[in-house]
Structure 1
Amino acid sequence: MRPIMRCMQAGKAVGAEHTPSEGEEGPLASAERPILVWFKQDLRLDDHPGLAQALTAEAPLAPLFCFDAALYSHLLHAPHGLEGLLGAVAALRTALRARGSDLLLRMGPATVEVPAAAEMLGAGSVLVEEEVEHRWLAAVAGVTAALPSGCSVMQWKASLFPHEPDSAASHGWNWRRFQQERGAPLPPLPPPAAGLPGLPAEVASAAMQAANAWPASACAPEALAAQLAAGGEPAAQRALGAYLRCCLQPNPAVFAAQLALGTLSRRRLYAAAQQALASAALPFGLGGEAALPARAAAAAAEAGDFHWHLARFDRGRDTRCGCAPRHWRWRGVLTDYIIAEPAACGTRGAQRAAERTGAPAVLLVHGFGAFGEQYRGQVQAMASEGLHVYAPTFPGYGRAEKPALAYSQELWRDFLRDFVIEVVRRPVVAVGNSIGGYISASLAGDYPALVKGLVLVNSAGRLDPGYAAPENPDADPVSAAGPPRLVVDLLSRALFLYLERSIASTLVKIYPAVPANADAWLAEEIRRAACDPGALGVFRSVFYLPKPRPLNYLVAERYGGPALVLQGARDPLNDAVQRARDIAAACSNVRVQLLDGGHCPHDEVPEAFNAALLAFVEEQLPARSAELAAAA
């Protein structure tokens, strides 16, 4: 079965997705000009549908890797991330050379270097994996627009299951429905045999010279750290085999980096797991503890495929925030976020932005069980006031992936830190609701240079005015011992089932002032997320969260900057008024403003909330010029 392709000419689609039938020529079959295979996050030869499709065409093949620092900069924040990339590129180049081909290497912006390589080679098409992450979508679109005349982009994907749900129904599409409709898994493709088409003789020399800027050490595996990630595709395959044979801890998250780089495909992970299960002596099909790693690996592959499709549909989904979501992969976990720019809000937004030059961005942080889109009343409203607004969804929540991670306050804080550094790229006013308030305070306390203002919205976090910081305040806190695993599992399942069935009634209780805003859409989105694979594990992690540092220590001592408590005074979860007073008493840098709302006043009474938030942001703006001050 041939992979699905999509052809785009100079930035615009010229054909719909199409799977050629048996005996029918695909779009590359009659190509005579070279085919440029652009390797990005698919750094392997095994199970590579794009390469397999290219080999059906009678045309020279030109594999290419472009090191675009902007696209791979996130690897600097991941343990051994850069080593992993360089090792994967080195292994890919070695594998191609063993088959009579080679890997062209270029450094610089992909939107410049890939079209330049296509023009140098006289390529008729550029073959590239379909993406869902925003940075890669923008890069592929930029490359497509800059290609020389007569050169088109062909996109491929390697789905684990053949089912293609209707994107129009993606709002209600969930994991349980996916399991019912997905069909049988597709097997991985074998790597190509020896004897790949070489580069065109007349351009091979020039193509190799174009790689001179690439550091030689980048393709010398012996110069790289001896980590798993640095070994590329061969090391990923060996590690997968070892994991399935003898790993006692069923945690396939160890392969997150390999799946993100593409040195290992989801289809190969799934097939290897199924083979391990089939070949083992499994009484009654269970296999006991020995089968757990394989079952966990298969489940991870299934979940990854599901979330990839969900993200693919979400690219065009109309959100309640008035703008389509974007997607970002953090430490191998696919997450989503909402962004609103002043320029997209018409003349008013642009004018306000000019008046507020240098203003920090607004980072909206959701609470437990919620997601970024719950800030539906703030995103466009703040952007129309000239502010850049971001509302991310934490790993483990909403439409983000929910892998088996050690979820904790520190993990979510690190997520926010990297999001601000890699996506926002400017200081922020952090606005956090419930546990999101505590995570925002952790971000401000541990990385104060990133936060110009802090807004706590019915925030979680204990208060301890007499707290004495440890000698090393940056040391990782010790996780709570928690109840026995069996007890936690039973409690989690019981509570999870209860909450799933009572989402609507629970929401109404925490929206006491305007219960109508706890609408069917919000309840359905929370219910949809509760169906996701891994959702129960996130809920279970609450029992093992490390003991948190006091909120007042983070806000007053570690951060010390301007802070506002926007408190829904009718929050049924605690004595909200007294809680706000206690925070102010424990934090000299905090002032309090009460709102007539419950636990989520940003969504319940957005107009009052926005007015208070905007006034606070105004206070953090740099001094305006004398001209603007006079005009005011």
Structure 2
Amino acid sequence: MAAALALGGVAHLGLGHQLRQKRIEAQWCSKAYLDRSEVLRFSGSGKVFLRCHEVAAFRLPGDCGVRISGKRLVRTIARASAGASGAVANGSTDSKELAILWFKHDLRLDDHPGVAAASAFKQVLPVYVFDPNVCAGWSKELLESLFDAIADLRKELRLLGSNLVVLNGRTADVLTPLAQKIGATCIIAEEEVESSWKRTVDSVLESLEESEPSSSTTGLAFEQWCASLYETRDMESIPDSYKDYLRLGLRTLAPLPPATSLPQMPKDVDAGALPEYGDFVASVDAIRGENQWWETLRAAQEQPGESLLPQAASPASAPSSAQYSPFKGVLKWRDEYILESPDASLLKKQGYYDAEEEVVGEYFIKGGATGASNVLDGYLRFLEPTNRDDYKAVYEHIWEMEKKPGASFRKLFGSALALGTISRRRVMFEALQYEKDRNGGRLSPFGYSTFTVGAAVGDVKAMEWFDILQKKSEMQASQKGFNVGAWRWRGYHIQYASMGNEGPAVLLVHGFGAFWDHFRDNLRGLAEKGYRVFALTLIGFGRSEKPNVTYTELLWAELVRDFIVEVVQEPVVLAGNSIGGFTTTIVSGLWPSLVSSLVLLNTAGKVIPDYKGLTYKKPRESSPIANPVSKLLLFYLQTSSDKLLTRCYPKQPSRVDKWLLNEVKRGSFDPGNTKVLESIFLLRAPLPLNFFLDRYDGNVLAIQGKHDPLQKNARRPEMLQALCTNVSVKYLDAGHCPHDEFPDEVNTFIDEFVKRGPESSKRDRSISPDMANATDDDPATAAEIVEEEIKLITEDLKS
């Protein structure tokens, strides 16, 4: 297992050949951490193989450090800023002959510490790998943007007298042979946070170790860089709370200037051609097709949730901006400049071809790094009058995106940030510089003068924070035996955990205000019973990102669906608590092929015997009470949430331990913390539970804590059982969170339920008269549950 080790300086690399010749195992079971002197002493000798997985905890890297992956030492080079002098890997004694500069999702030359590090070498070979394994799961629009960004990066490198070598295939299979062929002494790449990219990097490291001849006397170094917003300390000293993190007052790092030159490329290296877009998409599909479940998974993912629900007749919509003649010129400029690569734009303007493209779906900036920089300039100046047609094209989209105030930046620049065609540091620098220019060279203490600056700065700061939080989470969870991963969903950071390597897949989905850790003892307990267990933190909660979007049960359901398709990659036993239970019910009803069986734990959602004529209703656009009530609830969570939590654990209040309380409070300080609360008050009454269960043929187990202070209808599971032929019920002497209050009992219920088989609960529909006429008027929807929480909060405040 790879582990991060802290060093105050840069250690010697390329020791694979020595480690292979003579291994002296250093077992550090009793060590709290490995300090700098110890690591330097042993790694400098080249005679020790550290079994890092047995160390209880590690001091994580600050500005630079190394980690051990297999038998290869991997250095994290210093985070550089514009004020740094010399090479990024300053002070190293490594060979500086030939470096491979491996581009992944950092497709730019501006603010690129890897380019700065490569400048210290005699020769540099820039490389990008079109790896279908990496791009599986990417949208069509993002793949198109990738090709555009690679073309722009290659053009910029050629202007510097270099080029971009394009490889095709599994990264480890093509990058390692290239490194051997040209005699590279170092590979330089960005440090990763996302789990899929980490696996790709680890596969390259493993390939390098396997291919390195035992007679080698130099070894190939692997250096990783990170363009942090702030001059970070060692990760261990950074607090988990965003509020406390801001109090550190870390120095902001300026972006590095664009590269003006690069060392020469090695001779006789074929740069290769970009693959044909259609051929590459076919290779991605072929990789996915190796999974026996792929056709099932793809069919489910291609079905938007809203299209599967009964819709109310909607009034005729107002004409779009495209139908108004004043916008025709704007749309033309959008097609010709903003949404096209620079070369294609020039050809159009010179009249070589005049075909126009229609823009559909999400907004994706074309033109790679060049296009992203242009659009950022226009975005920041949104409130200024302008005669520039390219700015006007940007402005049209901002109007559309600002229907939800402050949401435009992430929507507009999501693909650019995902591909790294623009850096967070560049965004923050340009935004703050523009603000200073508007205010006589200084920043106002009362906030930003334009919403575009506020949105840009706020979003990149939030992205940085959740990346930091992910690194801390991995360290903390590994000490408890959990494997914590990061997954990008629609560009947003989603955290999850997993345990177990074989057996049926189980996916656990938490309730309102919780996180994957709420299944702490279910992950371990079910893994020990022979399951491959995943627990997901929904967007807007826990240590997942909290973006400025409209949160609905359908949004969370599509998140769960995509997680099954892209991460688990096979049908799952799906279990959910409270709002998570209602979310999993939606998944089961809309995409039943993804769910082998369903477990509901004190689920939210109503039961309505006769739901004919009911339709899906979109959330309201605004509510006068959403913001003030959300702030009240947030204040309570930050100060007195222990009282509410204890009420949810009436039989085992000791389970509400210090860790659980601290984690609930921690999340309430994250950037974007009010957005999900505000969205709850915009939701309309959802379709009932039995609507979705009637569309699901699998087995359903409803586990109900009988003393739930938030959901007071004790007959709801019985109503489900009476109305749905596939539901069985188990009661527990527990509260709102039976899975955490009595984890062993719930784990046993789930295990027995799954092993009984898919048909064990099937029976003929038999509805007693009292059930046929029963009503479910007690709190059950997301908004009603929150309202019940507010009532309990009010009682607490009065007492």
Q: 2:691 corresponds to which residue?
A: 553
Does residue 311 of the first structure (1) align with residue 470 of the second (2)? yes
Task: Quote how far apart the aligned CAs of 1:463 are.
Answer: 2.3
- Three-state SS of the structure 1 residue aligned to 2:426 is helix
Structure 2: distance between partners of 1:462 and 1:117: 60
Does residue 494 of the first structure (1) align with residue 558 of the second (2)? no
Q: 2:376 corresponds to which residue?
A: 240
Structure 1: distance between partners of 2:138 and 2:498: 23
Q: 1:229 corresponds to which residue?
A: 365
- Three-state SS of the structure 2 residue aligned to 1:432 is strand
Structure 2: distance between partners of 1:48 and 1:272: 16
Structure 1: distance between partners of 2:600 and 2:480: 21
Query: For residues 192-271 of structure 1, what are the structure 2 equivalents within 5 Å?
Result: 192-193=259-260, 195-201=261-267, 203-204=268-269, 207-208=270-271, 211=272, 214-215=275-276, 222=344, 228-246=364-382, 247=398, 249=402, 250-251=406-407, 252-254=409-411, 255-271=413-429
Asked if the contact 1:316–1:324 (Cα under 8 Å) also holds between the matched residues in 2, the reply is no
1:287–1:383 distance in 2 versus 1, CA, 3 Å: closer
Task: Quote how far apart the aligned CAs of 1:320 are.
Answer: 8.7
Query: For residues 609-628 of structure 1, what are the structure 2 equivalents within 5 Å?
Result: 609-620=746-757
Q: 2:136 corresponds to which residue?
A: 73
Query: For residues 43-442 of structure 1, what are the structure 2 equivalents within 5 Å?
Result: 43-55=107-119, 57-76=120-139, 80-147=141-208, 148-149=211-212, 150-167=219-236, 173-193=240-260, 195-201=261-267, 203-204=268-269, 207-208=270-271, 211=272, 214-215=275-276, 222=344, 228-246=364-382, 247=398, 249=402, 250-251=406-407, 252-254=409-411, 255-280=413-438, 285=444, 291-318=450-477, 322-342=481-501, 353=503, 359=504, 361-442=505-586
Structure 1: distance between partners of 2:142 and 2:75: 36
Structure 1: distance between partners of 2:554 and 2:480: 28
Does residue 40 of the first structure (1) align with residue 104 of the second (2)? yes
Does residue 459 of the first structure (1) align with residue 568 of the second (2)? no
TM-score by length of 1: 0.87
Task: Quote how far apart the aligned CAs of 1:121 are.
Answer: 2.1
Structure 2: distance between partners of 1:380 and 1:551: 29
Q: Which amino acid aligns with 1:263?
A: T
Asked if the contact 1:37–1:126 (Cα under 8 Å) also holds between the matched residues in 2, the reply is yes
Deviations along 1:241-262, one digit per CA (max 9) or x if unpaired, are: 2221114632222122221211
Q: 1:346 corresponds to which residue?
A: none
Structure 2: distance between partners of 1:382 and 1:181: 40
1:155–1:16 distance in 2 versus 1, CA, 3 Å: closer
Does residue 580 of the first structure (1) align with residue 738 of the second (2)? no
Q: Which amino acid aligns with 1:133?
A: E
Structure 2: distance between partners of 1:373 and 1:166: 21
Structure 1: distance between partners of 2:126 and 2:584: 44
- Three-state SS of the structure 2 residue aligned to 1:362 is strand
Task: Quote how far apart the aligned CAs of 1:592 are.
Answer: 1.2
TM-score by length of 2: 0.69
- Three-state SS of the structure 2 residue aligned to 1:452 is strand
1:540–1:15 distance in 2 versus 1, CA, 3 Å: same
Percentage of pairs with the same residue = 34
Deviations along 1:215-260, one digit per CA (max 9) or x if unpaired, are: 3789995599866333321221222222211146322221222212
1:47–1:212 distance in 2 versus 1, CA, 3 Å: closer
Structure 2: distance between partners of 1:274 and 1:286: 13
Does residue 515 of the first structure (1) align with residue 653 of the second (2)? yes
1:499–1:450 distance in 2 versus 1, CA, 3 Å: same
1:162–1:237 distance in 2 versus 1, CA, 3 Å: same
Structure 1: distance between partners of 2:162 and 2:255: 22
Asked if the contact 2:364–2:415 (Cα under 8 Å) also holds between the matched residues in 1, the reply is no
| 245-254 or 452-461, larger mean C-alpha shift | 245-254
Task: Quote how far apart the aligned CAs of 1:287 are.
Answer: 8.7
Name the count of aligned residue pairs.
590
Asked if the contact 1:564–1:590 (Cα under 8 Å) also holds between the matched residues in 2, the reply is yes
- Three-state SS of the structure 1 residue aligned to 2:754 is helix
1:481–1:583 distance in 2 versus 1, CA, 3 Å: farther
Q: Which amino acid aligns with 1:606?
A: P
Residue 529 (structure 1) aligned to one of 638, 649, 667: 667
Structure 2: distance between partners of 1:244 and 1:546: 35
Structure 2: distance between partners of 1:383 and 1:460: 26
Structure 2: distance between partners of 1:230 and 1:489: 36
Q: 2:24 corresponds to which residue?
A: none
Q: Which amino acid aligns with 1:479?
A: P
- Three-state SS of the structure 1 residue aligned to 2:608 is coil
Task: Quote how far apart the aligned CAs of 1:465 are.
Answer: 2.2
Structure 2 unaligned regions, length at least 5 = 1-9, 11-61, 213-218, 281-339, 345-354, 383-397, 761-799
Asked if the contact 1:7–1:153 (Cα under 8 Å) also holds between the matched residues in 2, the reply is no
Task: Quote how far apart the aligned CAs of 1:40 are.
Answer: 0.7
Cα RMSD (Å): 3.0
Task: Quote how far apart the aligned CAs of 1:497 are.
Answer: 0.5
Asked if the contact 2:77–2:224 (Cα under 8 Å) also holds between the matched residues in 1, the reply is no
Asked if the contact 1:407–1:538 (Cα under 8 Å) also holds between the matched residues in 2, the reply is yes
Task: Quote how far apart the aligned CAs of 1:105 are.
Answer: 0.9
- Three-state SS of the structure 2 residue aligned to 1:257 is helix
Task: Quote how far apart the aligned CAs of 1:182 are.
Answer: 4.2
Structure 1 unaligned regions, length at least 5 = 344-352, 354-358, 624-632
- Three-state SS of the structure 1 residue aligned to 2:143 is helix
Asked if the contact 2:699–2:758 (Cα under 8 Å) also holds between the matched residues in 1, the reply is no
